[in-house]
Amino acid sequence: MAEDLSIGLDIGGTKMAFVLADRGGNVHAARTLPTNSHQGIDDTLARITREVNLFIEAHRGIRGLGIGLPGPVDAARGIALKAANLGWEHVAIRDALCWRLAKPLPIYVENDVSVGAIGEQLFGSAQGLGNYVYLAIGTGLGGAVMLNNQLLRGATHAEMEIGHISLDPVAGRPCACGGRGCLEMSISGKGLLASAREFRAEYPESRLHAAPITTRAVLRQAEAGDPLALHALDEAAAALGIACAWCANLFNPELILLGGGLAHACYHLIESKARRVMAAHSLKMNFDAARLALAQLKDAALGAAALVWYQQNTEASL
Ligand SMILES: [Zn+2]
Protein backbone atom coordinates (compact mmCIF):
# COMPACT_ATOMS: atom_id res chain seq x y z
CA MET A 1 0.00 0.00 0.00
CA ALA A 2 1.25 3.47 -0.89
CA GLU A 3 2.54 5.70 1.89
CA ASP A 4 0.14 8.42 3.07
CA LEU A 5 1.09 11.77 1.54
CA SER A 6 -0.39 15.26 1.64
CA ILE A 7 0.14 18.27 -0.57
CA GLY A 8 0.83 21.60 1.15
CA LEU A 9 0.47 24.92 -0.62
CA ASP A 10 1.47 28.26 0.85
CA ILE A 11 0.16 31.18 -1.19
CA GLY A 12 2.06 34.39 -0.48
CA GLY A 13 2.05 37.80 -2.14
CA THR A 14 5.07 36.97 -4.30
CA LYS A 15 5.37 33.20 -4.44
CA MET A 16 3.39 29.99 -4.15
CA ALA A 17 5.26 27.11 -2.52
CA PHE A 18 4.11 23.50 -2.95
CA VAL A 19 5.36 20.45 -1.06
CA LEU A 20 4.43 16.82 -1.05
CA ALA A 21 5.09 15.38 2.41
CA ASP A 22 4.38 12.26 4.42
CA ARG A 23 2.91 11.99 7.91
CA GLY A 24 6.36 12.36 9.44
CA GLY A 25 6.95 15.70 7.73
CA ASN A 26 9.47 14.31 5.26
CA VAL A 27 9.31 16.26 2.02
CA HIS A 28 9.08 14.02 -1.07
CA ALA A 29 8.79 16.81 -3.66
CA ALA A 30 8.70 20.61 -3.65
CA ARG A 31 8.12 23.36 -6.14
CA THR A 32 7.86 27.14 -6.04
CA LEU A 33 6.13 29.41 -8.55
CA PRO A 34 5.60 33.17 -8.68
CA THR A 35 2.09 34.05 -7.47
CA ASN A 36 1.54 36.66 -10.21
CA SER A 37 -1.77 37.62 -8.61
CA HIS A 38 -1.97 40.65 -10.93
CA GLN A 39 -2.86 38.21 -13.72
CA GLY A 40 -6.16 37.48 -12.00
CA ILE A 41 -7.66 34.77 -9.84
CA ASP A 42 -8.49 32.44 -12.75
CA ASP A 43 -4.88 32.40 -13.87
CA THR A 44 -3.63 31.72 -10.31
CA LEU A 45 -6.16 28.91 -9.85
CA ALA A 46 -5.26 27.39 -13.22
CA ARG A 47 -1.57 27.31 -12.29
CA ILE A 48 -2.32 25.82 -8.85
CA THR A 49 -4.49 23.16 -10.52
CA ARG A 50 -1.73 22.27 -12.98
CA GLU A 51 0.83 21.78 -10.20
CA VAL A 52 -1.48 19.79 -7.93
CA ASN A 53 -2.51 17.56 -10.83
CA LEU A 54 1.16 16.85 -11.60
CA PHE A 55 1.58 15.62 -8.01
CA ILE A 56 -1.61 13.56 -8.26
CA GLU A 57 -0.50 11.95 -11.52
CA ALA A 58 3.02 11.16 -10.27
CA HIS A 59 2.31 9.89 -6.74
CA ARG A 60 -0.05 7.41 -5.15
CA GLY A 61 -1.40 7.73 -1.59
CA ILE A 62 -2.19 11.45 -1.62
CA ARG A 63 -4.82 12.03 1.10
CA GLY A 64 -5.51 15.73 0.78
CA LEU A 65 -4.48 19.25 -0.12
CA GLY A 66 -3.83 21.87 2.58
CA ILE A 67 -3.68 25.55 1.66
CA GLY A 68 -2.37 28.46 3.74
CA LEU A 69 -3.39 31.99 2.78
CA PRO A 70 -2.82 35.48 4.17
CA GLY A 71 -5.79 37.21 5.80
CA PRO A 72 -8.97 35.90 7.38
CA VAL A 73 -10.23 32.56 6.07
CA ASP A 74 -13.57 30.82 6.60
CA ALA A 75 -12.00 27.41 7.08
CA ALA A 76 -15.32 25.55 7.38
CA ARG A 77 -16.42 26.77 3.94
CA GLY A 78 -12.96 27.03 2.35
CA ILE A 79 -13.26 30.73 1.55
CA ALA A 80 -10.49 33.33 1.53
CA LEU A 81 -12.36 36.32 2.94
CA LYS A 82 -9.81 39.04 2.29
CA ALA A 83 -6.24 38.55 1.15
CA ALA A 84 -5.18 42.13 0.48
CA ASN A 85 -1.76 41.34 -0.97
CA LEU A 86 -3.32 38.91 -3.45
CA GLY A 87 -6.18 41.26 -4.30
CA TRP A 88 -8.60 38.50 -3.26
CA GLU A 89 -11.93 39.12 -1.62
CA HIS A 90 -14.37 36.33 -0.80
CA VAL A 91 -12.71 33.72 -3.01
CA ALA A 92 -14.25 30.26 -2.58
CA ILE A 93 -10.92 28.60 -3.30
CA ARG A 94 -11.86 25.13 -2.04
CA ASP A 95 -14.91 24.85 -4.32
CA ALA A 96 -13.07 26.47 -7.23
CA LEU A 97 -10.27 23.91 -7.05
CA CYS A 98 -12.43 20.93 -6.14
CA TRP A 99 -13.85 20.22 -9.60
CA ARG A 100 -10.60 20.99 -11.42
CA LEU A 101 -8.44 18.32 -9.78
CA ALA A 102 -7.57 15.15 -11.67
CA LYS A 103 -8.88 13.10 -8.74
CA PRO A 104 -11.23 14.04 -5.87
CA LEU A 105 -9.21 15.12 -2.83
CA PRO A 106 -10.22 16.68 0.47
CA ILE A 107 -9.11 20.33 0.41
CA TYR A 108 -8.48 22.32 3.59
CA VAL A 109 -7.97 26.08 3.61
CA GLU A 110 -6.66 28.05 6.57
CA ASN A 111 -5.11 31.37 7.47
CA ASP A 112 -1.33 31.20 7.13
CA VAL A 113 -0.63 32.09 10.78
CA SER A 114 -2.93 29.28 11.93
CA VAL A 115 -1.17 27.00 9.47
CA GLY A 116 2.13 27.98 11.11
CA ALA A 117 0.71 27.04 14.51
CA ILE A 118 -0.59 23.69 13.25
CA GLY A 119 2.71 22.89 11.54
CA GLU A 120 4.52 23.35 14.85
CA GLN A 121 2.24 20.85 16.56
CA LEU A 122 2.82 18.15 13.96
CA PHE A 123 6.41 18.75 12.91
CA GLY A 124 7.93 21.50 15.05
CA SER A 125 8.38 22.86 18.56
CA ALA A 126 4.85 22.13 19.82
CA GLN A 127 4.81 18.38 19.23
CA GLY A 128 2.67 16.64 21.83
CA LEU A 129 1.28 19.94 23.16
CA GLY A 130 -2.39 20.93 23.13
CA ASN A 131 -2.16 24.40 24.71
CA TYR A 132 0.12 26.93 23.09
CA VAL A 133 0.22 30.35 21.47
CA TYR A 134 1.93 31.05 18.16
CA LEU A 135 3.01 34.60 17.41
CA ALA A 136 3.99 35.37 13.81
CA ILE A 137 6.48 38.22 13.72
CA GLY A 138 7.13 39.45 10.22
CA THR A 139 6.18 42.65 8.42
CA GLY A 140 3.28 42.74 10.88
CA LEU A 141 2.31 40.82 14.01
CA GLY A 142 -0.29 38.04 14.01
CA GLY A 143 -1.14 35.15 16.24
CA ALA A 144 -2.99 31.89 16.66
CA VAL A 145 -4.01 30.01 19.79
CA MET A 146 -4.36 26.28 20.30
CA LEU A 147 -6.41 25.41 23.39
CA ASN A 148 -7.14 21.79 24.24
CA ASN A 149 -5.99 20.84 20.75
CA GLN A 150 -8.54 23.15 19.13
CA LEU A 151 -7.63 26.26 17.20
CA LEU A 152 -9.30 29.28 18.74
CA ARG A 153 -11.81 30.62 16.21
CA GLY A 154 -13.92 33.78 16.25
CA ALA A 155 -17.33 34.73 14.90
CA THR A 156 -16.03 36.30 11.69
CA HIS A 157 -12.66 34.51 11.41
CA ALA A 158 -10.70 37.53 12.65
CA GLU A 159 -9.64 36.29 16.10
CA MET A 160 -6.25 36.89 17.71
CA GLU A 161 -5.52 40.23 16.03
CA ILE A 162 -2.91 40.79 18.70
CA GLY A 163 -0.92 43.17 16.52
CA HIS A 164 -3.69 45.72 16.94
CA ILE A 165 -4.00 45.63 20.69
CA SER A 166 -2.72 48.94 21.94
CA LEU A 167 -0.07 49.73 24.48
CA ASP A 168 -0.93 53.44 24.34
CA PRO A 169 -4.16 54.28 22.49
CA VAL A 170 -3.86 58.00 23.25
CA ALA A 171 -0.30 59.06 22.55
CA GLY A 172 1.13 55.96 20.82
CA ARG A 173 2.51 55.78 17.30
CA PRO A 174 -0.24 55.84 14.62
CA CYS A 175 -1.05 52.50 13.00
CA ALA A 176 -2.57 51.72 9.59
CA CYS A 177 -5.65 50.31 11.37
CA GLY A 178 -6.54 53.84 12.50
CA GLY A 179 -5.51 53.28 16.10
CA ARG A 180 -2.44 54.35 18.03
CA GLY A 181 0.20 52.48 19.97
CA CYS A 182 -0.64 49.07 18.46
CA LEU A 183 1.81 46.29 19.37
CA GLU A 184 2.53 45.85 15.67
CA MET A 185 3.96 49.36 15.56
CA SER A 186 6.72 48.22 17.93
CA ILE A 187 7.24 44.49 17.44
CA SER A 188 7.29 43.77 13.69
CA GLY A 189 9.28 44.87 10.66
CA LYS A 190 6.98 47.87 10.39
CA GLY A 191 7.53 48.60 14.07
CA LEU A 192 11.33 48.47 13.90
CA LEU A 193 11.30 50.88 10.96
CA ALA A 194 8.84 53.25 12.61
CA SER A 195 10.81 53.30 15.85
CA ALA A 196 14.17 53.89 14.12
CA ARG A 197 12.67 56.73 12.07
CA GLU A 198 10.97 58.32 15.06
CA PHE A 199 14.11 58.40 17.21
CA ARG A 200 16.75 59.02 14.53
CA ALA A 201 17.25 62.69 15.52
CA GLU A 202 18.22 61.61 19.05
CA TYR A 203 21.09 59.47 17.76
CA PRO A 204 23.05 61.65 15.31
CA GLU A 205 26.00 59.25 15.53
CA SER A 206 23.94 56.29 14.29
CA ARG A 207 25.18 54.53 11.17
CA LEU A 208 21.53 54.20 10.11
CA HIS A 209 21.72 57.79 8.88
CA ALA A 210 24.01 56.73 6.03
CA ALA A 211 21.28 55.14 3.91
CA PRO A 212 17.50 54.74 3.78
CA ILE A 213 16.47 52.78 6.88
CA THR A 214 15.40 49.21 6.18
CA THR A 215 14.52 46.37 8.56
CA ARG A 216 17.63 44.52 7.41
CA ALA A 217 19.80 47.59 8.15
CA VAL A 218 18.30 47.96 11.63
CA LEU A 219 19.08 44.31 12.41
CA ARG A 220 22.59 44.52 10.97
CA GLN A 221 23.40 47.68 12.91
CA ALA A 222 21.92 46.28 16.12
CA GLU A 223 24.35 43.36 15.82
CA ALA A 224 27.14 45.94 15.54
CA GLY A 225 25.97 47.82 18.64
CA ASP A 226 24.49 50.89 16.92
CA PRO A 227 22.54 52.87 19.57
CA LEU A 228 19.57 53.83 17.36
CA ALA A 229 19.15 50.26 16.10
CA LEU A 230 19.43 48.96 19.66
CA HIS A 231 16.80 51.48 20.78
CA ALA A 232 14.38 50.07 18.19
CA LEU A 233 15.16 46.47 19.21
CA ASP A 234 14.77 47.36 22.88
CA GLU A 235 11.32 48.81 22.23
CA ALA A 236 10.42 45.70 20.21
CA ALA A 237 11.57 43.40 23.02
CA ALA A 238 9.51 45.29 25.61
CA ALA A 239 6.40 45.18 23.40
CA LEU A 240 6.90 41.46 22.79
CA GLY A 241 7.27 40.87 26.52
CA ILE A 242 3.94 42.61 27.15
CA ALA A 243 2.29 40.62 24.35
CA CYS A 244 3.59 37.37 25.86
CA ALA A 245 2.40 38.41 29.33
CA TRP A 246 -1.10 39.06 27.99
CA CYS A 247 -1.11 35.71 26.19
CA ALA A 248 0.10 33.93 29.34
CA ASN A 249 -2.59 35.54 31.48
CA LEU A 250 -5.39 35.10 28.92
CA PHE A 251 -4.76 31.59 27.61
CA ASN A 252 -2.49 29.93 30.21
CA PRO A 253 -0.42 28.22 27.50
CA GLU A 254 2.44 25.83 28.19
CA LEU A 255 4.39 27.35 25.32
CA ILE A 256 4.55 30.65 23.45
CA LEU A 257 6.17 30.14 20.08
CA LEU A 258 7.70 32.92 18.08
CA GLY A 259 7.52 32.31 14.34
CA GLY A 260 7.93 34.40 11.20
CA GLY A 261 11.02 35.71 9.46
CA LEU A 262 11.74 38.55 11.86
CA ALA A 263 11.45 36.30 14.92
CA HIS A 264 14.23 34.12 13.57
CA ALA A 265 16.36 37.13 12.65
CA CYS A 266 16.18 38.90 16.00
CA TYR A 267 15.32 36.29 18.66
CA HIS A 268 18.83 36.37 20.15
CA LEU A 269 18.66 40.18 20.38
CA ILE A 270 15.29 40.45 22.12
CA GLU A 271 14.69 37.19 23.95
CA SER A 272 16.13 38.02 27.36
CA LYS A 273 14.45 41.42 27.69
CA ALA A 274 11.14 40.05 26.38
CA ARG A 275 11.28 37.32 29.02
CA ARG A 276 12.02 39.84 31.81
CA VAL A 277 9.14 42.11 30.75
CA MET A 278 6.84 39.10 30.41
CA ALA A 279 7.71 38.03 33.96
CA ALA A 280 7.03 41.51 35.30
CA HIS A 281 3.59 41.74 33.68
CA SER A 282 2.12 38.26 34.03
CA LEU A 283 0.84 36.32 37.00
CA LYS A 284 3.60 34.13 38.42
CA MET A 285 1.65 30.92 37.93
CA ASN A 286 0.95 31.79 34.30
CA PHE A 287 4.53 32.90 33.64
CA ASP A 288 5.93 29.73 35.19
CA ALA A 289 3.67 27.58 32.99
CA ALA A 290 4.60 29.26 29.70
CA ARG A 291 7.91 28.53 28.03
CA LEU A 292 9.03 30.95 25.35
CA ALA A 293 10.68 29.42 22.29
CA LEU A 294 11.42 29.95 18.64
CA ALA A 295 9.23 28.13 16.13
CA GLN A 296 11.08 25.41 14.22
CA LEU A 297 9.28 25.10 10.93
CA LYS A 298 10.56 27.58 8.37
CA ASP A 299 8.76 25.91 5.45
CA ALA A 300 5.24 27.39 5.35
CA ALA A 301 4.18 24.86 2.68
CA LEU A 302 5.08 22.01 5.05
CA GLY A 303 2.77 23.63 7.61
CA ALA A 304 0.03 23.56 4.95
CA ALA A 305 0.75 19.85 4.39
CA ALA A 306 0.39 19.36 8.17
CA LEU A 307 -3.04 21.03 7.96
CA VAL A 308 -4.34 17.95 6.12
CA TRP A 309 -3.29 15.61 8.97
CA TYR A 310 -4.50 18.05 11.64
CA GLN A 311 -7.98 18.30 10.06
CA GLN A 312 -8.26 14.58 9.39
CA ASN A 313 -7.12 13.73 12.93
CA THR A 314 -9.66 16.24 14.30
CA GLU A 315 -12.46 14.74 12.18
CA ALA A 316 -11.48 11.24 13.29
CA SER A 317 -11.65 12.20 16.97
CA LEU A 318 -15.17 13.69 16.73
ZN1 LIG B 1 -3.27 48.83 14.60
pLDDT of 227-271, one tens digit each?
999 999 999 999 999 999 999 999 999 999 999 999 999 999 999
Q: What is the pLDDT of residue 314?
A: 87
Q: 181 CA to middle of ligand 1, Å?
A: 7
Q: 290 CA to middle of ligand 1, Å?
A: 26
Q: Write the CA distances from 33 to 17, 36, 55, 95, 98, integer angstroms.
A: 7, 9, 15, 22, 21
Q: What is the pLDDT of residue 1?
A: 60
Q: What is the pLDDT of residue 84?
A: 86
Report the Cα 318 to chain-centroid distance in Å: 27
Q: What is the mean pLDDT of the chain?
A: 96
Segment 64-84 mean pLDDT = 96
Give the pLDDT band of residue 2 (cuts 50, 70, 90).
confident
Give the pLDDT band of residue 318 (cuts 50, 70, 90).
confident
Q: 178 CA to middle of ligand 1, Å?
A: 6
Q: Set out the domains of the chain in order of their start, with CATH numbers.
A: 5-120+299-317 (3.30.420.40), 130-294 (3.30.420.40)
Q: 184 CA to middle of ligand 1, Å?
A: 7
**Chain segment 47-58, per-residue pLDDT in tens:** 999 999 999 999
Q: What is the pLDDT of residue 85?
A: 86
Q: 107 CA to middle of ligand 1, Å?
A: 32
Give the pLDDT band of residue 42 (cuts 50, 70, 90).
very high
Q: 168 CA to middle of ligand 1, Å?
A: 11
**Chain segment 110-130, per-residue pLDDT in tens:** 999 999 999 999 999 999 999
Q: Is 159's pLDDT higher than 90?
A: yes
Q: 243 CA to middle of ligand 1, Å?
A: 14
Q: Is 199's pLDDT higher than 90?
A: yes
Q: 1 CA to middle of ligand 1, Å?
A: 51
Q: 150 CA to middle of ligand 1, Å?
A: 27
